[in-house]
Chain A
């Protein structure tokens, strides 16, 4: 892959260009991702935030080409992983990629767990595929070690997934993803099932992975606290597009301009200080992805909506080098 790319492109591990994904269901076509552009650098944590149904999981599944067969389709766009387009890869190449370079932690831990194998055997299997020279004893010692790291007593490795709570299953999946030492770790809501003390432990493990192996991460989460603490870059998605993107310092700086949806997102947070009883969510619902509104997708819910917003899709407003907002308020 040695071509005449310059320094900055060398740093980019994953480059998604104009990605479109649709689901062809029996009665309608669902436009889940509609022209997504993101770049993930080596060793950086990239946060993907957005309302339910915004297309975050769909984006993640596209990177691994795990969209549901026949229904899910990528009609347009490129997903360049180390310069190679994942969309064009053969199934063999994909298996190699999934096995050793990209790991995913799914929203639902049972996607990755085998119900008829003990927890210990599953972690051992993951370790064996990645460290083939290890002896049986070394593998077992490592199983115990990673279980401890995720806060599960090693004595429980002989149990089956159904004997574990939701959060414990998720911890096992995280342990399995981390022993694979991937170059890209996609974590889809990895810690929502965990209490904050265990969450901290898991985030710490993920940070170590980044420090030690320069692993890049795409962190999909609803928790703006985690985004603020963990991420270097943040993209906020709405109806299958990135509507605001920047460094964590751009997004969490209240004095900078922001997309009205971003402002609404911060307004929805229950505060640990204030006592107001009702929360102020962004009113209304995500538009129906089978029937997206014309103009700006957010206009039906936007407090600052103008006539232009109803008719014309907004262009990109660049606020400094790193900060981008897709909104008519700024792009005159």
Chain B
């Protein structure tokens, strides 16, 4: 479609998003470097409050970045004018964490899906637009008779389908999916995941997929980034991360997955102990150190960069990659 085919669709360089709070500066996203190839899905996991949503929103310029670069097709969108950004934004969409809060309760389903089409003046005639709306409802598996219903009348699964239809309205290339299935039961969740994977196959969509559900992220992602307090602490192809986790936080995360099998029922819960480091004016050093069973003095004092520990596998931990390999 474009001439520079080797350029990744999305590239983040030292992206930062800080918030000023009464107590100091909160480092929500701190020097994040990530690459997403077209047609791929990057899964983002990490402790609640570690900055996943902020990363997604900053990446779409829904929040102003503090510093760094966001390259989209190789161009830094942070330098775009409002007009250029408006055009680009139609190619970059978001599906929100909370289907309840993200839908305007006063608009009907068809009006919600119509919004982006109206704002961007996509259609001249109402008839064309109505057809497109019904089309989108078919695509995401919403019965057409619901066109005039309101969000509160629907269950979570159908509400999330509205969110997906709205995100698809402008034919985007890239979608930030912030917990799109966490409010859904496993069967509807499977339907929505299948739908999203089908849409990806049909339209070549690229996803940044934020979730807490590790079996979901393993299922849908080609690569996974693990975040801890604003920073990426591990990055690897999905399978590799599960087979060969390196960072102590990643390991703790994988160990904590509740297994639906009676054989695991009476095993004691594995808890991470220790104080949680505050993201407000954090001291240099590993932010997981206070809770890490392997922490030494080497972990504190200076930033711990991501290092290569294999092809495409990177870890930010002094235990790995000091010398070459491990």
Contacts and interface: CB of A to CB of B under 8 A. Distances in A.
Contact of B49 (A50, A110, A155, A167): A167
Interface string A112-126: 000000000000000
A151 B275 CA distance: 8
B214 A227 contact: no
A52 B157 contact: yes
Contacts of B264: 228-229
A171 to B, nearest CB: 7
Contacts of A248: 262, 265
A248 B184 CA distance: 22
Nearest to B191: A281
Given A153-B276, A155-B23, A167-B49, A50 B185 contact: yes
B278 interface: yes
Contact of A166 (B21, B97, B153, B275): B97
Contacts of A194: 48, 212
Nearest to A288: B143
A49 B184 CA distance: 11
Contacts of B156: 52-53
Contact of A195 (B45, B153, B262): B45
Contacts of B270: 200
**Which range contains the number of B residues in contact with the other chain?**
35 or more
Given A50-B185, A195-B212, A269-B260, A163 B19 contact: yes
A195 to B, nearest CB: 5
A197 interface: yes
Most buried by B among A49, A204, A278: A278
Interface string A176-212: 0000000000000100111111111101100000000
A256 to B, nearest CB: 11
Interface residues of A, number: 68
Listed residue (A30, A152, A200, A248) with the most chain B CB atoms within 10 angstroms of its CB: A200
B153 A153 contact: no
Given A52-B156, A270-B219, A265 B259 contact: no
A108 B185 CA distance: 16
A225 B184 contact: no
B77 interface: no
Contacts of B256: 196-197, 199-200
A312 interface: no
Given A166-B48, A222-B189, A193 B155 contact: no
Interface string B253-281: 10011111110110001111001111010
A270 B215 contact: yes
Contact of B21 (A163, A196, A222): A163
A282 B190 CA distance: 9
Contacts of A223: 258
B157 A228 contact: no
A159 interface: yes
A131 interface: no
Given A159-B21, A163-B21, A272-B257, A197 B47 contact: yes
The 9 closest A-B pairs by CB, nearest first: A167-B48, A225-B258, A53-B155, A281-B190, A279-B190, A196-B256, A224-B260, A52-B157, A270-B219
Interface of B: 19, 21-23, 26, 45-50, 53-54, 97-98, 100-101, 141, 153, 155-158, 179, 182-191, 193-194, 197, 212, 214-216, 218-219, 242, 252-253, 256-262, 264-265, 269-272, 275-278, 280
23 contacts: A52-B185, A155-B280, A156-B278, A159-B21, A165-B49, A167-B49, A193-B48, A197-B271, A204-B269, A222-B184, A222-B186, A224-B260, A228-B261, A269-B186, A269-B190, A272-B214, A272-B215, A272-B242, A278-B197, A279-B190, A279-B193, A279-B219, A286-B157
